[in-house]
Amino acid sequence: MIYLDHAATTPLDAQVRAAMLPWLDDVDGYGNPASDHRLGRRARAAVESARAQVAALIGAEAGEIVWTSGATEANNLALKGALEFRGLKGAHVVSSRIEHKAVLDTCRYLETQGTRVTYLTPDADGRIAVEQVMSALQPDTALVSLMWVNNETGVINPVVELAPLLRARGVLFHVDAVQAAGKLAIDLSQVPIDLLSLSAHKLYGPKGVGALFVRKRPRARLAPQIHGGGHEQGMRSGTLATHQIVGMGAAFALAQSQVDAEAARQHRLRERLWQRLQRLAQIHRNGDAAHCAPHILNVSFEGVEGEALRASLPELAVSSGSACSSATREPSYVLRALGRDDELAGASLRLSLGRSTSAEQVDCAADQIIAAVHRLRALSPTWGGSSVATDVETTTAFAGDDNVYMYPAPVWAAFGAVRHAGTLPAADNVVCSQVGSPAARAQLELSARCTPEGVVEAARFRAYGCPTSIAVGEWLAGRIEGCSTAVAIPPTAADIRAALEIGEDKAHCALMGEDVLRALFDQIHRIRR
């Protein structure tokens, strides 16, 4: 499998793992960093060394780093902590509609507590302008929260330009820098950001640990969100996980040693991938190409359904958006904020590169995506555009037997090896029916060529929709080919569900199959009469 989902998480680097192991295996590595005996002091020294490593990557002081369980907790501590310290009621916050859920959901919670929040809409390229932020400020604005790099599009927001302007207005500035750290140069000794969230597992460190930068001069004051012991300068209580913190420190030190070279390399690979994908017509690059982090490319494809596209790429680890919100299966709220409609937002891929990504992998991934899009467009009864800008061989099956999305076996088999796709040439003995499922934005077309006796000599289908919709079309065409419509009883939705082992969540696909088949049989019977 080619892994192109580094914006979701990264593999643990071997050097990071080696740094962590003594604190898991060594008989002297289990001390509590808060203890005063030899084992505790040894653990505390490791924690402080890691704190300095994290601070060094972002141009901060070690004492400005507060350990958390990850960036989600860091975002919560920054926003809730700052607003609670100030006083929630009557406060005003400025953020944007394209922030990570960890910020958006926290802002919505703050609204229930009496805080007013202004959510800025990005321009068509996915960027928040300095002027937008400054225009949104009110006399009681307490905080602005804006991500440095968007986690879905890779677009870089103008946080460097904003920071001094907000400092001059006395407004706290929080920045989610999860996708920026280790990808862009960050120097907080020069950029007056007050609060900045970081994560280890996005930078080849372990999961379950992150940090919040809290500026000391001038001091950003926070109310703690976890109480019990007064650890981390009173801002975050709890026994520190030495092995995870050491891992984060090692990961950030490693990133600092190669940030410039790796950013340049990934930029070249990203542009190589984009150039190759442009062999396809009618695709859209989401986000400002001139202001984009080097590791993220987000592309939408016209004429294909998103779930079917992702299922057609079993040998690629890619994302349709943020991993933290993918469980909802809703089109990306970030892309919708950029003006993409639900279908185009759903038919998008976030392709994020990493240290292990090679030019050969990029080329192979592009070829697989091109083949998948071409195949799905050829299957679609709704596609009226050209499929590709250059010749690409039409395929009726995709490579790879790995059912990574865990579809029912009959659905996966029918979707992966289509044998009855297409249309039949117009003739007096050819009938065609088409139905749709507006809620699912799906279409299914079935055509048949019949003898005067009503025997189906040939059947074909076209479908636009999820893999189950396509599987239903394939199964129906194969099922009726050779049968006599004079005596056959059309399969019902229940029959289709049983044959393809379709669950309740995809029952609409079976209903669509029943409707299109009944409509086809009705036409055949009318012709015979």
- DSSP code at position 396: S
Q: Which helix (H) or strand (E) holds 164?
A: helix 159-169
Q: Find out whether 351 and 357 touch, Cβ atoms under 8 Å.
A: no
Phi, psi of 45 (to 5 degrees): -65, -40
Task: Quote the CA–CA distance of 219 and 521 in Å, as a whole number.
Answer: 76
The torsion defined by the Cα of 231, 235, 239 and 240, in degrees rounded to 10, comes to -100
The pair of three-digit structure tokens given for residue 116, joined into one six-digit string: 């007013």
254 to 15, 46, 259, 352, 458: CA distances (angstroms): 8, 16, 9, 20, 62
Q: Which two tokens stand for residue 4?
A: 């192109």
| Residues β-bridged to residue 155 | 292
How far, CA to CA in Å, does 153 sit from each of 6, 67, 322, 335?
13, 28, 10, 8
The residues, ordered by sequence, that sit 6+ positions from 190 with a Cβ below 8 Å of its Cβ are 59
Give the C-alpha separation, 454 to 446, whole Å. 16
Q: How many helices (H) and strands (E) does the chain have?
A: 16, 15
| Measured distance CA(220)–CA(171) in Å, rounded | 11
CA-wise closest residue to 13 among 197, 269, 260, 201:
201
Separation between Cα atoms, residue 152 and residue 131, nearest integer Å: 23
Catalytic pick from 324, 466, 483, 509?
324
Strands 210-214, 65-68: parallel, antiparallel or unpaired by DSSP? antiparallel
User: How open is the CA angle 177-182-188, to the nearest 5 degrees?
Assistant: 55
Q: Supply the DSSP symbol for 408.
A: -
351 vs 4: CA distance, rounded Å = 5
Q: Is 324 a catalytic residue?
A: yes
* 223 Ramachandran zone, left/alpha/beta (phi>0; psi -120 to 50): beta
CA nearest neighbour of 410 among 459, 455, 474: 474
Q: Which residues are catalytic?
A: 324
